[in-house]
Amino acid sequence: MSVSPSGGDAVLAAKRGLYIINLDNPFEPPRVIQHLTKWEVSDVQWNPHKARENLIATTSNQKALVWTLTPSSSDSSASKHILHILHAHQRAVSDLNWSPFHPDILATCSYDTYVHMWDLRASPVKPANSFCAWTAGATQVKFNKISEWLLASSHDTDVRIWDIRKGSTPVTLITAHMTKIYGIDWSRTNENEMITCSQDRLVKFWDITQPRTCQATIVTSSPVWRARFTPFGNGVMTMPQRRENNLVLWSCDDLTTPVYSFSGHVDVPREFVWRIRGGESDAVGMFFIVLLMNKMRKSGIVILMGDSPFY
């Protein structure tokens, strides 16, 4: 699940194609772009740039597909919506991420241990750049939100930081956990700060200039599938991988006690995203909406809202 740059729509991806939901009228029938495939979709990402708001990227086994919502052809088939098929990985693509600085740059990672960076301005027959961990498959890839040159990828228990200007050798290696890392996220305010979450039920804070020292830790009661910085204030949202059904909001000023627990699901949530209304400089007019999708297909989307930072 992913949200458009304007915050007006959300996209769900499945074997049968894309489902575009109008978030202002979520009970209306969605726009459907059909594309039948036998492969499950592990990730979908709407391009975050206004100039490329018609582009959506999804995984499809060993390939990544780049869709356009505004095809120039009058052809009614689903194939007219597929702008690019990116194929360089030898195993299933596990994650993808658009660059927050360059609207035509996309990163993909795979269980084949590689991270590929694609430039869609040229014909993307092959990656513009590639990075390899060699020892373990990649589970997540994320561009730094402040520095356009830094890229992070998780491989089993480690995180590798790549400088895309310096070839295929990581500039930093963080041995973050004793068990498999499920998710990583960069800070929105500090280019050297990131968090990792793992099967070991921990969320850890890191300064990439001090890779051997964990700066802080959140201890949860279940394996953590995703942990992400909030788009407001100084907080983190965690989502369980199993056993628990609630998303939990934490303040970075006090990591011992949660600020709030979002309850309601009867099964483990599968994904959550932020929908921001208003500007960061206008706290009164800014809305933060958490969209959750349950693992049970019949559960659909739950929308939770707030109108100000929690501190």
Whether residue 245 is predicted with pLDDT greater than 90 in this model: the reply is: no
Of 202, 209, 151, 150, give the one whose Cα is nearest residue 176.
202
Whether 266 shows a pLDDT value over 60: the answer reads yes
In a domain, 256, yes or no: no
Which class for 138: exposed (0-12), middle (13-18), buried (19 or more C-beta within 10 A)? buried
Q: Which residue has the higher pLDDT, 170 or 77?
A: 170
Whether residue 202 is contained in a domain is answered as yes
105-149: per-residue pLDDT in tens? 999 999 999 999 999 998 788 999 999 999 899 999 999 999 999
Task: Give me the number of domains the chain comprises.
Answer: 1
Q: What is the pLDDT of residue 184?
A: 98
In a domain, 55, yes or no: yes
Spatial separation of the C-alpha atoms in residues 16 and 307, rounded to whole Å: 36
pLDDT band of 71, cuts 50, 70, 90: confident
Q: Which residue has the tokens 């499809």?
A: 60
pTM here is: 0.89
- Identify the CATH number of the domain in which residue 102 sits: 2.130.10.10
pLDDT band at 250 (very low <50, low <70, confident <90, very high): very high
Q: Look up the domain containing 185 and give its range.
A: 2-250
Tokens matching residue 243? 């056993």
Q: Is residue 263 part of a domain?
A: no
Instruction: Tell me what the pLDDT averaged over the chain comes to.
Output: 87
Q: Identify the helix (H) or strand (E) that includes residue 159.
A: strand 158-163
pLDDT bin (cut points 50, 70, 90) of residue 292 is low
Statement: residue 291 has pLDDT above 60: no
Q: 43-52, 266-275, 281-290, 298-307: which has the highest mean pLDDT?
A: 43-52
User: What pLDDT, on a 0 to 100 scale, did the predictor assign at position 190?
Assistant: 96
Res. 201: pLDDT tops 90:
yes
In a domain, 108, yes or no: yes
Is 208:174 a contact under the CB 8 Å cutoff?
yes
Identity of the amino acid at 79: S
pLDDT band at residue 283 under the 50/70/90 scheme: very low
Interacting residues of 78 by C-beta distance below 8 A, sequence separation 6+: 17, 33, 34, 35, 36
Q: What is the per-residue burial (b if ≥16 Cβ within 10 Å, else e) of 235-265? A: bbbbbbbeebbbbbbbbbeeeeebbbebeeb
Is 269 inside any structural domain? Answer: no
Cα-flanking dihedrals φ and ψ of residue 71, to 5°? Answer: -65, 145
Q: At residue 194, does pLDDT exceed 50?
A: yes
- In the block, tokens 């694609």 appear at 118
Q: Write the pLDDT tens digit of every residue in 19-56.
A: 999 988 888 999 999 888 889 899 999 999 999 999 99
Whether 271 is covered by a domain: the verdict is no
> C-alpha angle 204/301/76, rounded to 5°?
115
C-alpha 52/C-alpha 292 separation (Å) is 25
Rounded Cα–Cα distance for residues 218 and 216 (Å): 7
Residue 286 lies in a domain: no
**What is the predicted pLDDT for the residue at 246?**
82
Joined tokens for residue 130: 């590639």
